[in-house]
Amino acid sequence: MECNLTFERPQVRYVQIAPDDDGMRLDNYLLRVFKDVPKSRIYKIIRSGEVRINKGRAKPATRIAVDDTVRLPPVKQKPRRALERPPDALMTRVTEAIMTETPDYLVFNKPPGLAVHAGTGQRFGLIEVLRAARPDEYFELVHRIDRQTSGVLIVARSRAALDALRDALNDVATQKRYLALVEGAWRHGIREVDAPLSRDVERAGERVVTVDHVQGKTSLSIFSPKQAYRGATLMSVAIRTGRTHQIRVHAAHCGHPVAGDDKYAANAATARWKANGLARMFLHAEEIQLDFNGQRRVFKAPLARDLETALRGLEPIE
């Protein structure tokens, strides 16, 4: 009896960089793509030229940009160990955060302190917990928000929906609005902050985002005061671009860092907010409006309880 076996050989892949990965270092991007490949192997395929960006050789520190084409060589990966199951309490926390569910997407009011994906010091992010809770379904992050930030987060339920939603987020008609409590009395009225941002600065061994008028990427935020308090101002912030730490850096650039921000505000100010009960920075992704499948979709997340409590402890100024 004859037995014909056909083995599929690994193939070179070409991937186009999505907006969410814009500005990421090449080595970090590859470490995420090839999760089960040793770091030494990742650097070897970069140095050998097996990985290329837009047909050209690149270095580990090269920053990838949206719409770049990255050549990914066939790489043998170790068999994955059985995935560790997230704690039941964490799965409950994630599933209870779902505000809207359709065949194309889920919309969450992401809890503060929960990363959107696993990483350094974080065994589970929202996306890993969701996949563990519903293992037979497709889920992928449409965009990201900081671990400390609460609010609207969209997860796609198909590849087609993922591409369509990411395109929609980058459309000029899309509106993204945050609530931020900033230090001090804001006296600028409605202010448009057009300050390019760069991620190429290290401070005390930690990478930070800075305003860089030479090499920075276009970044636009519009700050509108909503309520004045003694020592702080509640702002509505519309962003026209989605750079890493954009609101935090722009607020600090205006001389009014986000309350409780442990990276871009003074240590003494952050310690004072913690002493008054604000355990994280006051930043909430309040609303996203976008066009999807021919309809205007509005996703709005109520303010997180810890931030509501923080506001109640402040003295309003009429």
Beta strand segments in 46-89, E: 52-53, 56-57, 69-72
- Report yes or no: 46 and 58 within 8 Å, Cβ to Cβ: yes
Compute how many other C-beta atoms are within 10 angstroms of the C-beta atom of residue 304: 20
Return phi, psi of residue 285, to 5°.
-80, 95
Residue with tokens 């987060």: 153
Question: What's the token pair of residue 112?
Answer: 């503060």
Answer yes or no: 146 catalytic.
yes
Question: What's the token pair of residue 125?
Answer: 């992010």
Query: Looking at the DSSP assignment, which residues form a beta bridge with residue 12?
Result: none
Out of 104, 146, 167, 261, which one is annotated catalytic? Answer: 146
Continuous H helices in the chain? 26-33, 39-47, 88-96, 126-133, 159-169, 246-253, 267-275, 305-312
Give me the sign of the Cα torsion angle 83, 86, 87, 91. negative
CA 68 to chain centre: 19
- Report yes or no: 168 and 148 within 8 Å, Cβ to Cβ: no
Helix-strand-coil split of the chain, %, nearest 5 = 25, 30, 45
* Residues forming the active site: 146
